Structure 1
């Protein structure tokens, strides 16, 4: 195993991957945009809080600051090509609202095909280095029950995993408790 000192950005910052991307959906006026965010996390169960980390360079960042509400949807590996496309083009140049979606109860766009999605009201934005953490309160949950187990977890082998730099996969279909 090698070691090297860190002075500036890491040459590869993927050691903690794979991650499950959350597709962030935001609508401002008539403009709909989607952006995959692999840096996402649950923050609290009571109250239910969820966070996504976005670079200020991203078109979605500015829309979300203004709209103050957003969705986070989770997709099966069969939608890898769509998720990759959404993360490969900018909403400044491409109308990502053409992707199949519906509007949730609060009017946020939710990408179709998800096994679960959250509607979130923006509570706080915190800057950390080159990204901002958007913390949202979950105000509605969408679930595709046939794709979830009895505890509301995605069925084994279903989730889209992101390994970084355009590499996707999915977990083994066998799951176990040690």
Structure 2
């Protein structure tokens, strides 16, 4: 195993991948935008808090600050092309609101085809290095029950995984419980 001292940005910061991208949906007035964020995490079960890390360079960043509410949706492997397209184009240049979506209870856009989605109200924003962590309180949950198991987990082999730099995959369908 080789080693090197970390000085500045790492040449490849993907050792903790793959991750399940959360497609962040945001609407300001009539402008709708979607941005996949693989840097996402549950933060608390009670109250239910969820966070997404977004660079200030991203168009979505400014929209999130204005809207103060957003969605996070989780998609099956079959939607890899759409999720990749959303992550490869800037909302400054294309209208991502043309992607098939619906508006949730709070008016946030939710990308269609998800196996689960959250509607979130923005609680806090914290800067960590070159990204800001947007912490939201989950105010509504959407689930496609046929794609989830009895505990609400995505069925094995379903979730879209992101490995970094445009590489996508899916989990193996083999699972075990020790």
Which TM-score tier does this pair reach, normalised by the shorter chain?
over 0.9
Partner of 2:64: 64
Partner of 1:15: 15
Cα shift at 1:174: 1.5
Partner of 2:126: 126
> Does 1:26 find its partner at 2:26?
yes
> Does 1:98 find its partner at 2:98?
yes
Q: Deviations over 1:22-52 (max 9, x none)?
A: 0000000000000000000000000000000
Equivalent-residue separation in structure 1 for 2:7 and 2:40 (angstroms): 25
User: Could you list the runs of 4 or more consecutive aligned residues of structure 1 that deviate by over 2 angstroms after TM superposition?
Assistant: none
Partner of 1:116: 116
1:141 is paired with a residue of what secondary structure? strand
Equivalent-residue separation in structure 1 for 2:173 and 2:103 (angstroms): 32
Equivalent-residue separation in structure 2 for 1:135 and 1:8 (angstroms): 26
Equivalent-residue separation in structure 2 for 1:25 and 1:79 (angstroms): 16
Partner of 1:165: 165
Cα shift at 1:173: 1.0
Partner of 2:139: 139
Computed over aligned residues only, the root mean square deviation of the Cα atoms, in angstroms, reads 0.3
The number of residues matched between the two structures is: 178
Cα shift at 1:172: 0.6
Equivalent-residue separation in structure 2 for 1:15 and 1:96 (angstroms): 30
Structure 2: runs of 5+ lacking an equivalent: none
1:62 is paired with a residue of what secondary structure? helix
Q: TM-score, normalised by structure 1?
A: 1.00
Equivalent-residue separation in structure 2 for 1:175 and 1:5 (angstroms): 36
Cα shift at 1:167: 0.2
